[in-house]
Chain A
Amino acid sequence: MKTTNIMIVGVGGQGSLLASKLLGHLFVKKGYDVKVSEVHGMSQRGGSVVTYVRYGEKVYSPVVSEGEADYIVSFEKLEAARHAPMLKKDGKIIVNTQEISPMPVIIGAAEYPTDILEELKSKGVYVDGLDALSLALEAGSAKATNIVLMGRLAGYFEFTKEEWLTAIEEVVAPKFVEMNKKAFMLGYGQ
């Protein structure tokens, strides 16, 4: 079996850790070899952050290289564009349409590109955009944006909805389980 490559990208502090924990937990439970690679430290302070999640029969490398990602789950629009070169030819981008301006844009040294997702689509890239922040707020907290996106990602996988929900119960702190399950379902589309 071929290794599946998932990238979770966003802005430091957006909470990609829980998303990768959920994926890692589910894939191990399904009997796969798994590697999850993060970078800690300085880049977490509002910088561009990347987590690689890889699963398959035997996974060697901890990282995903250019042109290899089956899925890019982006917590922010600009970050989806930044990491587009990582995408495999028939890979898919799942993106929260929220905009967070990086410092060069804030201080007027650069511009936040308009219609960047449309531009990617025009180049044949599969882009699945959703307002995950609003759905997360509907579920109860902006912090559940990550799980809304996991819900949307889940639609592309063969695992059952129940398997995902059970994994959420197993990795999320008990008092946040219900909110996160709701967030997952909003992303999943039900």
Chain B
Amino acid sequence: MKELIIGNKAVARGLYEGGVQVISSYPGTPSTEITEFAALYNDIHCEWAPNEKVAMEVAFGASLRGVRSACAMKHVGLNVAADPLFTMSYTGVNGGLVVCVADDPAMHSSQNEQDSRHYAIAAKVPMLEPADSAEALAFAKSAFDLSEQFDTPVLFRMCTRIAHCQGLAEIGQREEHPAKPYEKNPAKYIMMPGNAKKRHPIVEERTAKLTEYAESCPFNKVEWGKDGKLGIITAGTCYQYVKEVFGDDVSVLKLGMINPLPVKLLKDFASKVERLVVIEELDPIIESHCKNVGLEVEGKSLFSMIGEFSQQTVAKALLGSTPETVSADSPVPVRPPVMCAGCPHRGIYYTLAKNKLTVLGDIGCYTLGATPPLNALDSTLCMGASISGIHGFNKAGGAESEGKTVCVIGDSTFMHSGITGLVNVSYNASNSTVIILDNSITGMTGHQQNPTTGYNIKGDPAAKVDLESLCRAVGINRVRVVDPYDLKACDKAVKEELAANEPSVIISRRPCMLLKYVKAKAPLQVDADKCRSCKSCMRLGCPALSMKGGKAVIDTTQCVGCGVCAQLCAFDAIKEG
């Protein structure tokens, strides 16, 4: 039976059919739905881990015990989990192990555009890359066999346009793979130098065997075109763009296993075409390999290393065609993402902006505090960097910066990588003020539970990390909670903690307005007679507020009655409707 499913659901189904028993992941766009859909199967264990490194190590443990296991993460999540990955390449597996990693060319929801194929090369593990939902399911299912056959973790590369594209995929049956026996094997699993030195040659031999396998494996295929002149080597979503433009006219070598890459297969293909072009998004991985093995090939001389492609990119580069288009002459204002009406982050950001503080930020919905009119952030780097960063900033700047610098981090991000930074603040004694934006959910990726919410991935009650106790336990004496809808309380808390001569944590706590259990209040209204057009309320950057005919107006379809704007009105013009 065929079903129309997004690539991530297809991966979940493939892992399930392949007999996976344990999946541990941390959410990250565009990988999140793999684990969400897998969690709907009650006969496997699925969980959200605090971060990707923990998730991968859970998968390692499950594999060591003999079951098929997996983890999923976005591209930058693999940076966090790189440590276990590189050494898992040496230990190999007991039960098959698949590491799903989703790249985000064009950075729809990411802080960089890194190409995770580099990890496959650097860690010396095989990597598969499907080109649609059907392949995502089939490849994920067979990835476990590949993992066990070659005794290696397998990287499974997705990208936004495969992960979040619905296509038809054949739904099959689950294969049961009972746990293999666990036998103590120090030489294989204890990677101390004496053992690791003996494992490294095995890794190199495995790569040689995998390269041989790549020459004729079912993941790579050649489609000979009607016209023998142009030959295109491609993979993943780029394959679809090539087929969209050329159909069956040109010859295509489609690579489904992108590490290690074949040699003979490429040379054979090259020998049968007149012009050889590699089409790949981001970095020239396939192109460089072709050149390394002595092939004359065009690639990045025609295609960019930046952003994502489309059929138009291919048509323009190879056919020189550009489409006829029509557009409005009037400028069309951009529509950047914004914090929602009633977002609990807005009140605290307003406070920080009003006090003209330097704010080191982190990764989440609250990164949107960087945008106008709040312009409340000074830096955003990676998960957890706010707390580690403010410590360095204050050590460098001394008392002067300590008094006017804070950092902000979400509840889920704090669990992911913030706690170690806070240990460092405490241990190495910086007088830093840390604000935890606790909206009681992992917001940006679409509302996933985390260790602070009290629920697990299935929505069942779970142990709940007590943030206040945790902060105190690592040595922070000044820990206080503030309601971000209360601007006066926010201002008082921030001023007092900045003035204190020791590190402090302010927990700005209110659940995300989009959570189902949070009930919106009646929308507020502006009394036009009282409005003096001072625009104080407009400094909040609330999407429900705008100026019409010189007066503030509230969009009642968006307003959730949070009341933050009313606190800014000196003329009492904003009232309950």
Q: Which residues of A contact B (CB under 8 A)?
A: 11-13, 24-25, 28, 33-48, 59-63, 65-68, 78-79, 81-82, 84-87, 89, 100-113, 116, 119-120, 123-125, 142
Contacts and interface: CB of A to CB of B under 8 A. Distances in A.
A125 B325 CA distance: 10
A34 B334 contact: no
B331 A120 contact: no
A156 B243 CA distance: 28
Given A45-B340, A103-B541, A113 B109 contact: no
A111 B244 CA distance: 39
Interface in B300-342: 310-312, 323-340
Contacts of B567: none
Interface in B219-264: 237, 240-241, 243-244
Contacts of A25: 4
Q: Please name the 6 residue pairs, one residue from A and one from B, whose CB atoms are nearest each other, closest first.
A: A41-B109, A67-B323, A47-B337, A41-B29, A65-B312, A110-B333
B371 interface: yes
Contacts of A107: 372-373, 538, 541
B61 interface: no
A37 B323 contact: no
B541 A102 contact: no
Contacts of B365: 42, 45
Contacts of A101: 543, 546
A81 B332 CA distance: 7
Contacts of B160: 39
Contacts, number: 187
B202 to A, nearest CB: 39
B332 A60 contact: no
12 contacts: A40-B29, A40-B32, A41-B109, A46-B338, A47-B338, A65-B310, A65-B312, A68-B312, A78-B332, A85-B325, A103-B336, A105-B333
Contact of B538 (A36, A59, A106): A106
Given A48-B335, A82-B332, A67 B324 contact: yes
Contact of B336 (A24, A47, A108, A124): A47
B12 to A, nearest CB: 15
B95 interface: no
B357 interface: no
B176 to A, nearest CB: 30
A25 B3 CA distance: 10
Interface stretch (B162-170, B389-397, B421-429, B503-511): B162-170
Nearest to A87: B326
A116 B311 contact: no
Q: Which of B336, B337, B365 has the most CB of A within 10 A?
A: B337
A89 B108 CA distance: 28
B445 interface: yes
B173 to A, nearest CB: 22
Contact of B166 (A11, A35, A41, A103): A35
A78 B332 CA distance: 7
Interface string B525-562: 00000000000001001010111000000010100000
Nearest to A91: B326
Contacts of A45: 337-340, 365, 368, 444
A112 to B, nearest CB: 7
B372 A103 contact: yes
Given A60-B243, A107-B541, A78 B311 contact: no
A11 B340 CA distance: 12
A61 B323 contact: no
Contacts of B4: 24-25, 28, 34, 36
Q: Which of A13, A65, A67, A82 has the most CB of B within 10 A?
A: A65
Contact of B333 (A39, A47, A112, A123): A112
Contact of B328 (A65, A104, A119): A119
B108 A113 contact: no
B446 interface: yes
A81 B328 contact: yes
Nearest to A133: B557
Q: Which of B237, B335, B338 has the most CB of A within 10 A?
A: B335
A160 to B, nearest CB: 21
A62 B326 contact: no
A102 B336 contact: yes
Q: Which of A41, A45, A110, A142 has the most CB of B within 10 A?
A: A41
Q: Which of A61, A66, A81, A112 has the most CB of B within 10 A?
A: A61
